């Protein structure tokens, strides 16, 4: 899916900080190579991330933006970059990261807000200020570093 030009420009402004954060935490960022009429689509990113407690374990998160920074992205885990999004074993075992449902039940992704529309108000509302992409990535890293219980089965 192609995002609007404003969202693409906003992502371009914020992606360098996300990449630096991931490198600092032993991860990496790759933009999806989808091409529409010869133009790269900046809506999809693949993040390789690892928990601090188990640096040999890598997880690949697929983040897809529809309207950046105005809406939360979809977040799924894959078995590899550009791999299957339907393998529960690709998911980290973390409270709220529901490998069997292929969603995250936390107020940081479209899936979470879809399950809990009440999160759209108050302290759990989607943050549109600053760098929401970096905020999402730092949230995932926080959970990997502090609540990681192994790989889902």
Gap between the Cα atoms of 33 and 19, Å rounded = 17
pLDDT tens digits for range 52-100: 999 999 999 999 999 999 999 999 999 999 999 999 999 999 999 999 9
Residue 93 is assigned to a structural domain of this protein: yes
Inter-residue contact 48 to 28 (CB < 8 Å): yes
Total domains present in the chain: 1
* CA–CA dist 40, 9 (Å, integer): 13
Residue 151 lies in a domain: no
Q: What are phi and psi of 31, to 5 degrees?
A: -80, 140
85-106 in b/e burial notation, b at 16+ Cβ within 10 A?
A: eeeeebbbebeebbbeebbbbb
Residue 11 lies in a domain: yes
CATH code, domain carrying 16: 3.10.110.10
Do the domain assignments include residue 9? yes
Residue 19 pLDDT: 98
Host domain of residue 51:
5-146
* 153: in domain: no
Residues 6+ apart with CB under 8 A from 48: 22, 27, 28, 29, 30, 58, 59, 60, 81
The answer to the question of residue 110 being in a domain is: yes
Question: Is residue 69 included in any domain, yes or no?
Answer: yes
pLDDT in tens, 116-150: 999 999 999 999 999 999 999 999 999 999 999 99
């Amino acid at each position: 899916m192609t995002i609007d030009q404003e969202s693409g420009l906003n992502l371009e402004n914020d992606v360098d900080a996300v990449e630096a954060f991931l490198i600092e935490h032993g991860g990496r960022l790759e933009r999806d190579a989808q091409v529409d009429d010869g133009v790269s689509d900046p809506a999809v990113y693949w993040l390789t991330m690892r928990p601090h407690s188990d640096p040999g374990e890598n997880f690949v998160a697929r983040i897809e933006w529809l309207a950046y920074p105005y809406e939360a992205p979809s977040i799924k885990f894959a078995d590899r970059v550009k791999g299957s999004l339907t393998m529960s074993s690709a998911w980290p075992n973390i409270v709220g990261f529901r490998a069997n449902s292929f969603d995250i039940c936390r107020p940081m992704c479209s899936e979470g807000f879809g399950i809990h529309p009440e999160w759209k108000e108050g302290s759990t509302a989607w943050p549109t200020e600053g760098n929401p992409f970096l905020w999402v990535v730092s949230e995932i890293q926080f959970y990997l570093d502090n609540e990681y219980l192994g790989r889902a089965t």
